[in-house]
Structure 1
Amino acid sequence: MNDSEMLEIVCARAWPPVVDEALGDWRLRWADGFTGRANSGLAVGDPGRSVAVALKAVCDFAHDRGIPPVVQVIQDSGTEREVAAAGWREWTEHAAGYQVSVLFGPLPAGPVQGAEVLDEPTPAWWELAADNPSPGAAERHVLSTGKVGYGVVDVHGVTAGAVRGAIVDGWLHVSRLAVRPEFRRRGLASALMFALAGWGRAHGAERWVLQVAVENEGALKLYSALGCTEHHRYRYWGPGAPACEDPQS
């Protein structure tokens, strides 16, 4: 297993779906439609059968659970070439961005400006991080399972920003960074990241890893300023008709 595959597995463990089934080394994932990462096949490693047969299993799994059949594949890998050869195409419909940069770097130190990391999420954290102060079971499972810290920063009694951190094998996986529009450009995003980095160090992490859509230029600029560099990219792929027809349709 190469470093890119290892990091993909770390990230997947930090973002656990509700249903996670093995297909050889691949993972079939479902979380009631909450995020692409938790509702796709993770095509990393050897599926234990031909890629074409594995992709049929991805289709069957997705159709049984009412989600689009999609695989997450390391860009420019041998697996990606086999997925393309099987008639699948880049799944550009993915709203959050079908091409993702995986960043990593050492945990930095800096001013936290009132940011802190909580052991339990607050309704305000849910509102910012998940766009829902009363999340459903799938969102709670994905965002609350494992060793998780919930970063918040308050301004005049208002939760102005939030972020999520999860510890996996000495890595701090960072996600769901959000700052309310009226509080942006005050350094709060950096403060949240510094607070989360300190929390990560306290729990044995030495580096962090982030998954960021390549179109999200603002986030990429922030993370670059915090010392992160790109490790690799992945893309989402979906079937080209009629490669994966739903027997129920």
Structure 2
Amino acid sequence: MHPAETMELSCADAWRAVTEEDLGAWRLRAASGFTGRANSALAVGDAGVPLSEALDRVCEFAHVHDIPPVVQTVVGSATERAVEAAGWVPNTAHAAGHLVSVLTGPLGGGDDAVSFLPEPTRAWWELVAGTPEPTPAQRHVLTTGEIGHGMAGVTAGAVRAAVVGELLHISRLAVRPAHRRRGLARALMSAAGSWAARRGAARCVLQVSVDNAPALALYERLGFTEHHRYRYWVPAWKDRFL
């Protein structure tokens, strides 16, 4: 399997949907609509059936779980070219951005201003999920696995850290507006690196929309570079999903 596809499987292991089904090497996922990654088919490797049948299975799975049919592909891959040839189109309506850069970089060192909580607090939930009372889907996706709940101060900033093998997967990095431009994002990343190193991680991976210029600039300063990109696709004939 291509290194980008292997990386995508590791990232998927760090971001588990509520319901998952394997279709060959593909992974069908649903989580009540919470995030694109947890509600799309990760189309990497061999689906084990002809592409047209695989895409039909994606649509059937989506219908059963009351979510739009969406396929996530590595940009430039043979699978992506086949999905496009089958009549699917980029999901440009996806609010978080349909084209995503996957970055890898160093773990970084610790920071005493950040603590890692054994259990997420209401303040952590409010920062990473926008609510102190998460839905069952939010709770499942954000806390399943070997997860660290990083907090800067009491309510200033938060991060979700997940370790899968030798990879630290960073997501949901958030700093309250009143506390920005004080180095808290860097501190959260550094503390997450130390937390992950103690659990066997050797490098870091994260995903950022190509349209999120401030985040891309931050991670570039921290030594991250682009590993690959992925894109979301939807069937053109289901125009109500576009």
- 1:2-81 alignment, distance < 5 Å: 2-81=2-81
How many percent of aligned residue pairs carry the same amino acid? 58
How many residue pairs were aligned? 241
Q: How far apart, CA to CA, are the structure 1 residues paired with 2:199 and 2:217?
A: 27
Report the AA paired with residue 238 of structure 1. Answer: V
Cα offset, 1:180, TM superposition: 0.5
- 1:53-132 alignment, distance < 5 Å: 53-109=53-109, 112=111, 114-132=113-131
- 1:186-197 alignment, distance < 5 Å: 186-197=182-193
Q: Deviations over 1:25-73 (max 9, x none)?
A: 1011000100000000000110011111101110111011111100000
- 1:173-188 alignment, distance < 5 Å: 173-188=169-184
Cα offset, 1:113, TM superposition: 5.3
Q: How far apart, CA to CA, are the structure 2 residues paired with 1:17 and 1:182?
A: 33
Q: How far apart, CA to CA, are the structure 1 residues paired with 2:80 and 2:240?
A: 21
Q: How far apart, CA to CA, are the structure 1 residues paired with 2:2 and 2:236?
A: 29
**Preserved CA contact (<8 Å) 1:116 1:196:** no
Cα offset, 1:109, TM superposition: 2.2
Report the AA paired with residue 96 of structure 2. Answer: A
Q: How far apart, CA to CA, are the structure 2 residues paired with 1:188 and 1:130?
A: 18
Unaligned runs of 5+ in 1: none
Cα offset, 1:245, TM superposition: 9.7
**Preserved CA contact (<8 Å) 1:14 1:168:** yes
**Preserved CA contact (<8 Å) 1:28 1:61:** yes
TM-score by length of 1: 0.94
Unaligned runs of 5+ in 2: none
Report the AA paired with residue 222 of structure 1. Answer: L
Number of the residue aligned with 2:197? 201
**Partner secondary structure for residue 208 of structure 2:** strand
**Preserved CA contact (<8 Å) 1:113 1:188:** no
Report the AA paired with residue 10 of structure 1. Answer: S
Report the AA paired with residue 120 of structure 1. Answer: E
Report the AA paired with residue 73 of structure 1. Answer: T
- 1:167-178 alignment, distance < 5 Å: 167-178=163-174
- 1:142-153 alignment, distance < 5 Å: 142-153=141-152
Number of the residue aligned with 2:162? 166
What is the root-mean-square deviation of aligned Cα atoms in Å? 1.4
Number of the residue aligned with 1:240? 236
Q: Which runs of 4+ in 1 moved over 3 A?
A: none
Report the AA paired with residue 120 of structure 2. Answer: P
**Partner secondary structure for residue 143 of structure 1:** helix
Q: How far apart, CA to CA, are the structure 1 residues paired with 2:112 and 2:75?
A: 38
- 1:202-241 alignment, distance < 5 Å: 202-241=198-237
Report the AA paired with residue 119 of structure 1. Answer: P
Q: How far apart, CA to CA, are the structure 2 residues paired with 1:146 and 1:223?
A: 24
Report the AA paired with residue 24 of structure 1. Answer: G
TM-score by length of 2: 0.97
**Preserved CA contact (<8 Å) 1:151 1:192:** yes
